[in-house]
Amino acid sequence: MSALVQAAEAARDALVADVTAYAEQETPSDDLAALAAGLTWVRSYVEQHLGAPEASRTVDGGEQGNIAVLDWPAANGGTGSIAILCHYDTVWPLGTLADWPVTIDGDRLTGPGVFDMKAGLVQATHAIAIARAQGLPLPAIRLVLNGDEEIGSLASRPVIEEAVAGRDAVLVFEASAEGALKTARKGVGIFSVTTRGIEGHAGLDPERGVSAIDEMARAVLALHASADLSAGTSVNVGTLAGGSRSNVTAGRAQALVDVRVADVAEMDRIDAALAAMRPHRDGAGLEIAGGWNRPVMPRSEVTAALFAVARDVSVEQGWTVEEISVGGASDGNFAAALGLPVLDGLGAVGDGAHARHEWISIDGMVQRTALAAGLIARLGGASA
């Protein structure tokens, strides 16, 4: 394990150069041309370090970015098989680099998408290359690259579920949570609530109109009341719009709602609460659309066992990695729902996902590259 740490340290400059070059490939989720160029760059980069895959396929994402699935065989006498998940899209619009270029200040490297999650792919690529160069056994590796994670993975979900099926472990190189690996994530529901009323003159004929906004206000109160933070359930009405003019009784209103749950029982309770919602006044209507975007990722026994392997590797490398449960979701949720062991947060150490202060630690890149190299080798059959 000390040899892996030394090799990762020797790759420090390359890690910095690579994540800089990757961040300079802008890949907003809503720009198909930029996503296509970004995926071309990523595939070229990965193959430069790992060689051409034994097999590959690209799935058309339609209105979202395409999905690439790349396979390398087991190496150096390794056994087993793993899947690695990395999304290449970011929340940052095209042109962000113009006023926020990649910048290095001591141990901090900032730039759009470096934390979420471009550093993760760079670390995973170097980890595999380092372990291979050290002659360590590696399992068969399947790398899944998708360009729609930041907008719900609607196109990539079935591809991910098919790609991870039957794998011994799934490693997700999303950013860490203050350095901790993520062994549990909440499930996410994205819903829209639409209320309909009867328009009328608010001053001349206030009793004949039925306000969709009044109905929505009551619905918002009911939605927020369904939250149970003690059970890990949050409900947030994030946007709300309705009506046409101040002197017109509103005929329509719509709200978008984010729901996070920690277990299936809470998911069922929220479903029942939504199904029970009714309009308050005669003549009003209420409709709920949407659904559960990502299933719950529980801390299962198989995931706990996988984390124990990672923790042992970190101890052998001179430190101890921690684990955490988080409210955010990732593509790892899909794999966990299939009963597979999933270890998330193997990517960058830093902070500021989706924020202008997004940054990563260069020391953290080196440390986590060594950790990933050791973990992947251990999954391929390397001894302690």
Token readout for 228 is: 């149970």
Pair 350, 175: CB distance under 8 Å: yes
Q: Which of 343, 340, 331 is nearest to 378 (CA)?
A: 343
CA distances to 152, 223, 328 from 192, rounded to whole Å, are 15, 11, 19
Q: Which long-range contacts (CB under 8 A, 24 or more apart) does 35-44 make?
A: 35/65, 35/66, 35/88, 35/89, 35/147, 36/65, 36/66, 38/65, 38/88, 38/89, 38/147, 39/65, 39/66, 39/68, 39/88, 39/145, 39/147, 42/68, 42/88, 42/121, 42/145, 43/68, 43/70, 43/145
Q: Residues 89, 148, 331, 358: which is the catalytic one?
A: 89
Going by C-beta distance under 8 Å and a sequence separation of 6 or more, which residues neighbour residue 383? none
Q: For residue 152, which amino acid is it? A: G
Helix, coil or strand: residue 373: helix
CA 177 to chain centre: 12
Catalytic site includes residue 18:
no
What does the alpha-carbon distance between residue 57 and residue 27 come to, in Å, rounded to a whole number? Answer: 20
Pair 291, 189: CB distance under 8 Å: yes
Q: Residues 18, 116, 148, 149: which is the catalytic one?
A: 149
Catalytic site includes residue 89:
yes
DSSP symbol at 229: G
Going by C-beta distance under 8 Å and a sequence separation of 6 or more, which residues neighbour residue 184? 262, 297, 298, 299, 303, 325, 326
Residues designated as active site: 89, 149
